[in-house]
Amino acid sequence: MKKNIFITTIFLLTSYLILLTSVSLATEKKPLTKEQTKTIDSLKQVLRKVDNKGKAKVYNELSRKYVDISSETAIQYANEALKIATQTNNLSEKANALGILGIINYNTGNNKNAYGYYQQSLAIYDNLSNKKGIAKINNYLGILYGQLDNYKEALKSYNKSLQIYKELNDKNNIASLLMNIGIIFKSKNQYKEAEDNYQKALVIFYELNNKEEISRITNNLGNLYLNWGKNETALKYYQQSLKISEELKNKELMATTLNNIGIVYLNIGKYNDALKNFTSALNFLDELKNNPIIAKINNNIGNIYEKENDFQKALYYYKKSYDLTDKKSSESVAMALNNIGNTYTKLGNYNVALQYLKQSIKITDSVNIYGDGNMANYKDIACLYQKMNDYKTANKYLNQYYALKDSVYNKETHRQIMEINTKYETERKDKEIKLLNTQKELNKAEYNKRIIFLISAFILIIVALIFYYNKIKSDKNLAFKNFEIVKSENEILKSKQTQLINKNKLIIETKISEETSFENNIKPQAEKYSSSPLTDIQKHELINKITEAMEKDRVYTDIGLNINDFSKKLNTNRMYVSNVINETFNKNFTNFINEYRVKEARRLLSDVESQKYTLETIAKSVGFKSRSVFIGAFKIYTGITPSFYRKTIKVS
């Protein structure tokens, strides 16, 4: 049988030992260390003090402590925890106990029971919405599915667990899950995917400065590159793992890594270096009494001597490997028998060789072991019969070899086709997810854009409302001020004309000699009219007439009034009237007339009795030709529109 079968077995065993960081493969009772004894004694003391409900938790902790020590004791404690948790309706500890029972059954090879316990535990954790519990059990299910070569379900369970740990930001478990996923991809010969997951896990463990896990995962990377055919890269990672395990003084990990380094040297033909590392590994493992790996290493040493044609030494180590092999492991026993049989063939002892090879075939046939190992059995025994000149029997076994080879080939082809289909579906789904994520990002960008637009619009509306409120407030203030002006005007309207007439009479009686002094007090704006032919006395007489015509006669109410008609009414010419209005009031004739009209309109709008009239009626009653001209003039003079003024005054 080909010796690389045993090497591959070593890799798989090592991978699963590393995978099961929280689930040991040990089933035999082991002696307690001082630290373990101390911890267990402490838990037993706590057990005496806690109430019945609290005992379930302590029993579960005790069971976990015994998982790697004694399966029987671990089961007893787990069952006691389950019993008490059920009685006290402590669902969380009930789920915990079921999970532990699943671990123990998995360790003892009872996968069916393990699966049942895991499912019961998971159902309780689901009902409790206990994310940590759900993640934990999915991880255990992933390990179980991986052991059963159900890689699809293994990845499914691992990814569920990984997603929860990411939500919880549990970096240590995230890294552990990535490592487990990497092992599955490695088992599927998808080395690139395995490498990606291992490297991601390694980065996290470096962040956490978890040296023990760094040592384990670098060892796993070494296994990956070794299977990948990258011996130098494998050796580099193994050496990294060995250095860290030596710092940690972890003898079991040191032995595992030394064994793997030996396998690299065996592959590249450096037998002395391989033997040196195998021997060093055995020294550690003899101390730890780790028989399964010791058996494999003895087999590897036998393989070295067989390659060097030292068949007697090879036979010694193969037999030693067989003696140490767990007889419950049919495949390992069959392989060991095959190696012994082939070595006897090379020594020329055909009858003894035939006995061992037939025993190997009997075991593989009885437990339906298929694959390279079983095919090699038939091929090796066919070759042996050929050497014994029994061509008929040789042909019989050779035909069985080819039949089995075709069967395995077809299964392998089917598996590869399924893997290609799975990979295609995965890539297709990944593309769909990527497209959905892209669309989601675009939708998010569009949503953000709309939110920004709505916020901007809202701010603009608020600003506009504030501006509008302030404008209304300002306009109302203007309206009230205008209303106060109207009241004041009504009070002084009658006395104003008399005061102006008396003032002008006084000016006329003033001596002519004071004219110069009077002229010096004229406003600067009147200088451009100083060339007027009127004397100051004439000017003031004309001012008096203009004021009287406006305030007494209310000539401004004449819609068609112009400066020429106004001048005729005053028995003077147009130029004099224009000059006097400009010099005295700093306005042209139109603005002067409109000011009186607006004042009168404002007075009417303030009068309750005038509320029944329209703006157009009021406009015409005070002399404006149209509503629009009236509104424009009113706003210029008062700062607000007539309608707003009327509404504000009415409300107040």
DSSP line for 23-84: S----S--PPPHHHHHHHHHHHHHHHHS-HHHHHHHHHHHHHHHHTT-HHHHHHHHHHHHHH
pLDDT higher than threshold 50 for residue 8: no
Helices (H), 88-170: 91-107, 111-128, 131-147, 151-167
Mean pLDDT of the chain: 82
What's the confidence (pLDDT) of residue 43? 86
* Of residues 11 and 546, more confidently modeled: 546
Burial 66-97 (b: 16+ CB within 10 A, else e): bbbbbbebbbebbebbbebbeebebebbbbbb
**Cα(650)–Cα(652) distance, integer angstroms:** 5
Tell me what pLDDT residue 114 has. 93
pLDDT of residue 531: 43
Q: What integer pLDDT is reported at residue 5 of this predicted model?
A: 38
**Is pLDDT above 80 for 32?**
no
In the 8-state DSSP scheme, what is residue 389? Answer: T
User: Mean pLDDT throughout 631-640?
Assistant: 91
pTM score, two decimals?
Answer: 0.56
pLDDT tens track for 592-622: 999 999 999 999 888 888 788 899 999 999 9
Higher pLDDT, 377 or 312: 312
Average pLDDT over residues 461-477: 78
Provide mean pLDDT across the span 533-542: 86
| 418 has pLDDT over 80 | no
For residue 331, pLDDT over 90 is answered with no
CA-to-CA distance for 358 and 388, rounded, in angstroms? 15
At residue 606, the pLDDT reads 86
| Percent of residues, the chain, with pLDDT higher than 70 | 82
369 pLDDT tier (thresholds 50, 70, 90): low
pLDDT in tens, 104-129: 999 888 999 999 999 999 999 999 99
Report whether pLDDT(512) > 50: no
Exposure on the CB side of residue 243, measured as CA atoms within 13 A? 8
Average pLDDT over residues 150-168: 95
| Confidence label for 37 from pLDDT (cuts 50, 70 and 90) | confident
> Residue 237 pLDDT more than 90?
yes
Counting beta carbons within 10 angstroms of the beta carbon of residue 638, is it exposed (0 to 12), middle (13 to 18) or buried (19 or more)? buried
- Decide if 566 contacts 577 (C-beta within 8 A): yes
Given this model, what pLDDT does residue 624 score? 93
Between CA 33 and CA 171, with CA 255 as vertex, the angle to 5 degrees is 75
Confidence of residue 425 (pLDDT cuts 50, 70, 90): low
| Helices and strands (H and E) in the chain: how many | 28, 0
Residue 103 token pair:
């671990």
Predicted pLDDT at 514: 43
Q: Does pLDDT of 23 surpass 50?
A: no
| DSSP codes joined into one string, 558-579 | -TT--HHHHHHHTTS-HHHHHH
The separation between the first and the last C-alpha atoms of the chain, rounded to the nearest angstrom, is 112
Task: Please tell me the predicted confidence (pLDDT) of residue 16.
Answer: 37
354 contacts 384 by C-beta, under 8 angstroms: yes
What average pLDDT does this structure show over 53-68?
87
Question: What was the pLDDT predicted at 71?
Answer: 87
Q: pLDDT (tens digit, 9 = 90+) per residue, 384-408?
A: 899 899 989 989 888 888 887 776 6
Q: Which two tokens stand for residue 207?
A: 């962040």
Helices of type H across 268-329: 271-288, 291-307, 311-324
Mean pLDDT confidence for 622-626 = 91
- Is 51 exposed, middle or buried, given 0-12, 13-18 or 19+ CB atoms closer than 10 A? exposed
Q: Are 56 and 93 in contact (CB under 8 A)?
A: yes
- Long-range pairs for 595-598 at CB < 8 Å and ≥24 separation? 595/637, 596/550, 596/551, 596/554, 596/556, 597/556, 597/557, 597/622, 597/623, 597/624, 597/630, 597/633, 598/622, 598/633, 598/634, 598/637, 598/638
pLDDT in tens, 435-453: 777 777 778 888 888 888 8
Instruction: Note the pLDDT of residue 525.
Output: 39
